[in-house]
Structure 1
Amino acid sequence: MSAAPTFDFLPPLLPANAGSLRAEVRDLVARERAAGRVAVKDRIGMAYNAGFSRACGEAGLIGMTWPKRYGGREATAMERYVVTEELLAADAPVRGHWVADRQSGPVILRYGTEAQRERFLPPITRGECFFCIGLSEPDSGSDLAAVRTRAVREGAGWRLNGTKLWTTNAQNSQFMIAICRTTPQDMKDRYHGLSQFIIDLSLPGVSIRPVINMAGGHEFNEVHFEDVPLAGDALLGTLDEGWKQVSAELAYERSGPERWLSTWQVLAELNATLGPALGDEAEDRIGALLAETLTLREMSLSIAGMLERGMTPNLEAAIVKDLGTRFERRTVEVTRDLAELATERGLAVPVRLGSLLASAILMMPAFTIRGGTTEILRGTIARGLGLR
């Protein structure tokens, strides 16, 4: 009898130079704040600042784990984790290079040709080249097997038609890595026949339309492709094996510290302001959130260690994403409850906390969607455990 599938979160070890890395990032943020490129925000969500991304590139903080010949510094995944954690905790405007650093670059490094690596990786590490992700579509959502965007062979290249939706930061990106159907769907294997392409968003036939969220922000976009001509070298990796590549890519997206630090500013402001004013009523609830923060951090660090060892922790990453999503919601709910309690007691809710809370409430529905819906994640977990 074979053993049941399991998952494991190995104890993580921070690098010996973690302290110096943190100091390096804090010094950079302080300099950039003095230059006006890092603001103290009153709403949650990553901000975009191309100048700050270039500063990160000059400091060697983008593509840290990549080979030096492509502009990296050959650091470990754990060293990169320390830097990422510091940037997010400081609420630095990393939106520009975020996707390219987190997953597009690693995917190109793993599956791309040498020509693709030489073309894209150096400008990414300099903070000059930004990527977005083309997965979801108007009628497919998280069911990527149902994507309708199609790339058809045309001579030595391809002809692209279709639409991608909820594409974050497409308005500021030069390139998209999109998954497209290249072979008709086989119901015996719905994920076969999908391929990844690197799409230059300046090509004729590409149109980017803003999708304004409930908080009034422009993060999402609808990207439409109408007879877009792609060169033969736009194909990334192996033809018709895009799903396998995307599955590996999602481990980068689902397990990082952004899965529990996106509401950190709310929790930190709550703890610093209303927490002391409300005493015991706040102590237990804020303490529970902080304890959960530490747990999620250890799990996320563990996955960084697995990635460093060349593992593909898709199951563990899905678990972190699911738990992180629920934690983000609880952070907002606890803050709202304590703000209401303060009002009942005649205490004023600090202006910045109120603004952060208001934006977080409006962003709550997105927590359960980005990086894969809760239902999709739990299906992934069930399959990983052999339950379906």
Structure 2
Amino acid sequence: MNEHPATPAPTTATPHVVVIGGGYAGVMAANRLTTREDLTVTLVNPRPSFVHRVRLHQLVGGTDPAVIAYADVLAERVRLVVDSATRIDAPGRGVELAGGGTLSYDYLVYAAGSGTADPEVPGAAAHAYPIGTLEDAERLRPALDAVPATAPVLVVGAGPTGIETAAELAEAGRPVTLVCGGALGPYLHRRGRRSVAGRLAALGVTVADGPGAKVAEVRADGVTLADGRALPGALTVWTVGFGVPDLAARSGLATDALGRLLTDETLTSVDDDRVIAAGDSAAPSGVPLRMGCQSAMPMGARAADTVLSRLAGERPAPLHQHFAAQCLSLGRGAGVFQFANRSDEAVWFHIGGALGAKLKETVCAFVPEHLAKEGRKPGSYRLHTGSGGPARAKSLRAAATTAPAPARKG
């Protein structure tokens, strides 16, 4: 994939950067861009509040609102436009808004985020409740309240969201069955997996795992599994699948098969060096990073640095990303802090129980603090500058041995 050369600074007196998406990546990028006092930054987001997405399962469980005022995380110099982008006019350098009008830009940061993909399993769209966005969680909460406390609840998906949601509901006294569709927590080391399984068992969660535990059909009164088993459920929570907005593809920009914007290793679009991407909606070199704030915030900082380098007429630095751990809450009383190597492969060491819960809560609390600090002192965030190059290189080498995801344009 070709790397874009340095780009001369725009000729406008006050360069304007538009950031699409006000999640972890978008807020980090917008805040960091205010490093330059002669830069105007506009953040476009469809919601008036910041969604602390790692707490959405707590919103459903009634233990946290999962939203934060933008005034608490966004730099004062960033202009917030509460609207949705409907089209990017890359040749004309403009963003068309659902509410009417177009925002002109010198550079665009594409941080549109992600959600739960539309389920293809029969009956899932009609009878299951996703939890991937704030609106999903807000619809699920009253539906759950309408179900008797003793009625069985099904949670489909053995990823972090599924495990955390199952534990949260079980700790509140709900009878819960977690339908894994395969192995429980496949990204965990076997020791960490045993810790999660033990905690779920202590909470009374029934775990349906193994090769036959994939959902074949969702009904109003439960699900049918691939092996023919019927599991009753008064409500089914759906945490399976990953999808991104189709804005980039609809705008004629090259994307991967799922619609993530294709970029080089500086996070610059392969089509247009004025378009930079970050977070879940970016696919650098066609090899996207694991979704989550642990990836999104460093990518947001890197995207901002790419813009700042181009404004200065300098060559941007490539992406350096490494991982250290993944943490799960298992209700309010326990958690698992799973350590990993820099290539995001789980290692044997993990911390569970009450200390695991404390570490998870510390991480959740630090995330908005990182964003707020970057808003107060732009340029202070440094976690994206570490030695992540070797781990990233390993991912790229591995991807080179397989067929690349087909690129497409809208």
TM-score normalized with structure 2 length: 0.27
TM-score normalized with structure 1 length: 0.29
Structure with more helix by fraction: 1
Structure with more strand by fraction: 2
